[in-house]
């Protein structure tokens, strides 16, 4: 097959395709471009960088080959690195600190650890449900606000034995405000010209302040733990970060690296999962038949008693709902790789080179009509065991790829499944605004904005 040019919107002098990128809704902008230009298109960025956006299973399957491609820290992640340093998310795969931390921290999110974290997840979920019960059936719940508090408190308690107590404060915790601003600014910086960034003194000042808020909380948690180590039998991920030795080299994580891991886990560990829960509730309220089936399963498995870890395996339909939600709304909506070899061809005909940003646009990958019948339809049945097994490889990638795949995927799915089970067991759900039309708020992640619901207590004795 002969080589052909990758489709591209018409570039402008100096700024290339920058004007084609939506500054406020970058991912939704790329989705629109993919709709116009197809499963592969190229954007030229200032400074000679080229971004190639991919949205078909065939092309994505090709770039998921770790023999030919590796994770790339594209501009937004380079900006996040300003505050997350060489934590797992923003380190290069070849960096020594990524390799040590990967080996030390992987088991901390394995099946044994997840079982131990079940109690912490149930504790925080119970707090929120109790609060909702007391607020009563007329209370209008801002779903994204509440799930953000839930997931932040859950990761902090389960991983670091720290209580943010977010349900007891009016305003979001200062950590969350600093984090959201820093994430938005990281994305914006990556779409501005370098000169623009240098001139925006106020934004730069705010970014520095936000970075300090994130670091000082992390440093405080580490200092407190060093002063008062966990009792035996109550060890958590922070203990692992501070004390565990790399099984291969015997090295421990440096103090600076522990700080970056803490910030990384607090951010990566809640922002995406709250988006997942919010989109899930949005979809459930639009699909009463799915909601009814989910509730029937919860009633059958749990009846009127509190859930235990073993119940999760029997709540398979809830897991299917979460996976289908992540198909339509992958809350970390893109990841980037680059070729290891300078002379690489994609799909047998598109030339790409080392340092090209190959961006996997998961919301469009997950709508590839060659894989998904009627892709816009919300149908958890797609993830019934046999059907999911029959999916082509790399058709569903909400958690990224290969060795750089999300370390917290099991944690996120367990937390979300448990919360959903407890919620459906206890409440009837209804939309507070039946005319709500989906608005997606983008930081580097996606979340529904302005989505609200009301809850009525069901007659279950708990």
- Write out the catalytic residue numbers: 272, 399, 406
Pattern of binders to ligand HEM over 119-158, x per CB under 6 A? ------------------------------------x---
| Nearer CB in complex with ligand HEM: 146/273 | 273
Using CB under 6 A as the binding rule, whether residue 274 contacts ligand HEM is answered as no
- Give the whole-angstrom CA distance, residue 324 versus residue 351: 34
Residue that has been written with the tokens 């349900």 in this structure: 167
Nearest residue to ligand HEM, scored by beta-carbon proximity: 408
CB nearer to ligand HEM: pick between 37 and 413: 413
Q: How far apart are CA 408 and CA 270, in angstroms?
A: 10
276 is a contact residue toward ligand HEM (CB under 6 A): yes
DSSP output for 156-168: HHHHH-----GGG
Query: What whole-number distance in Å separates Cα of residue 68 and Cα of residue 462?
Result: 54
Site map (CB under 6 A) of ligand HEM, residues 56-95, x = contact: ---------------x----------------xx------
Residue 150 tokens read as: 């839930």
Closest alpha carbon to 265 in 417, 441, 412: 412
Burial class, 423, CB count within 10 angstroms (exposed 0-12 / middle 13-18 / buried 19+):
buried
Q: Could you tell me which stretch among 177-185, 201-209, 294-302, 394-402 binds ligand HEM (CB under 6 A)?
A: 394-402
Q: Using CB under 6 A, which of 332, 358, 361, 364 touches ligand HEM?
A: 332
Cβ-count burial of 68 within 10 angstroms (0-12 exposed, 13-18 middle, 19+ buried)?
middle
Of the pair 132, 411, the CB lying nearest ligand HEM is at 411
Alpha-helical segments (H) within 13-74: 26-37, 57-63
Separation between Cα atoms, residue 214 and residue 259, nearest integer Å: 9
For ligand HEM, the closer CB: 88 or 302: 88
State how far the Cα of 121 lies from the Cα of 150, in Å rounded to an integer: 9
Residue with Cβ nearer ligand HEM (302 or 359): 359
> Cβ closer to ligand HEM: 92 or 133?
92
Residues 426-455 that bind ligand HEM (CB under 6 A): none
- What Rg do the C-alpha atoms of the chain give, in angstroms? 22
| Joined tokens for residue 244 | 């565990």
Q: Is 358 in the site for ligand HEM (CB under 6 A)?
A: no
Do residues 454 and 139 lie in contact, with contact meaning Cβ atoms separated by under 8 Å? yes
> Could you tell me how many residues of this chain bind ligand HEM (CB under 6 A)?
25
Judged by CB under 6 A, the stretch of 218-226, 405-413, 428-436, 451-459 that binds ligand HEM is 405-413
Residues lying near ligand HEM in the complex (CB under 6 A): 71, 88-89, 102, 155, 264-265, 268-269, 272-273, 276, 330-332, 335, 398-400, 404, 406-408, 411-412
């Amino acid at each position: 097959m002969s080589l052909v040019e990758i489709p591209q919107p018409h570039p402008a002098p100096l700024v290339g395709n920058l004007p084609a990128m939506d500054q406020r809704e970058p991912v939704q902008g790329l989705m629109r471009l993919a709709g116009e230009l197809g499963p592969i298109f190229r954007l030229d960025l200032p400074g000679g960088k080229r971004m190639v956006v991919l949205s078909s299973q065939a092309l994505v399957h090709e770039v998921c080959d770790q023999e030919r491609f590796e994770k790339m820290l594209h501009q937004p992640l380079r900006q996040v690195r300003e505050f997350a340093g060489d934590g797992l998310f923003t380190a290069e795969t070849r960096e020594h600190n990524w390799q040590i931390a990967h080996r030390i921290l992987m088991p901390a999110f394995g099946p044994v650890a997840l079982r131990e974290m079940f109690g912490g997840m149930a504790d925080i979920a119970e707090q929120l449900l109790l609060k909702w019960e007391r607020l009563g059936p007329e209370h209008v719940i801002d779903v994204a606000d509440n799930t953000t508090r839930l997931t932040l408190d859950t990761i902090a308690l389960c991983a670091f034995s720290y209580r943010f107590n977010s349900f007891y404060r009016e305003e979001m915790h200062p950590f969350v405000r600093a984090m959201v601003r820093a994430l938005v600014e990281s994305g914006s910086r990556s779409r501005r010209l370098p000169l623009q960034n240098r001139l925006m003194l106020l934004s730069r000042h705010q970014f520095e302040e936000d970075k300090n808020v994130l670091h000082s909380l992390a440093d405080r948690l580490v200092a407190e733990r060093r002063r008062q180590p966990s009792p035996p039998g109550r060890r958590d991920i922070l203990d692992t970060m501070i004390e565990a030795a790399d099984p291969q080299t015997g090295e421990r994580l440096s103090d600076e690296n522990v700080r970056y891991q803490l910030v990384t886990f607090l951010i990566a560990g809640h922002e995406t999962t709250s988006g997942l829960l919010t989109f899930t509730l949005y979809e459930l309220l639009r699909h009463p038949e799915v909601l009814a089936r989910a509730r029937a399963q919860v009633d059958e498995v749990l009846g009127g008693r509190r859930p235990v870890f073993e119940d999760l395996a029997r709540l398979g339909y809830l897991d299917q709902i979460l996976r289908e939600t992540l198909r339509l709304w992958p809350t970390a909506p893109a990841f980037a790789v680059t070729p290891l070899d300078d002379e690489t061809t994609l799909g047998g005909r598109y030339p790409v080179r080392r340092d090209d940003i190959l961006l996997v646009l998961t919301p469009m990958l997950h709508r590839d009509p060659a894989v998904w019948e009627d892709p816009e339809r919300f149908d958890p049945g797609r993830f019934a065991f046999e059907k999911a097994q029959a999916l082509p490889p790399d058709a569903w990638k909400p958690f990224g790829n290969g060795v750089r795949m999300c370390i917290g995927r099991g944690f996120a799915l367990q937390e979300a499944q448990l919360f959903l089970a407890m919620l459906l067991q206890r409440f009837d759900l209804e939309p507070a605004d039946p005319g709500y039309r989906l608005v997606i708020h983008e930081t580097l992640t996606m979340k529904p904005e302005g989505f609200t619901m009301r809850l009525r207590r069901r007659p279950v004795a708990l």
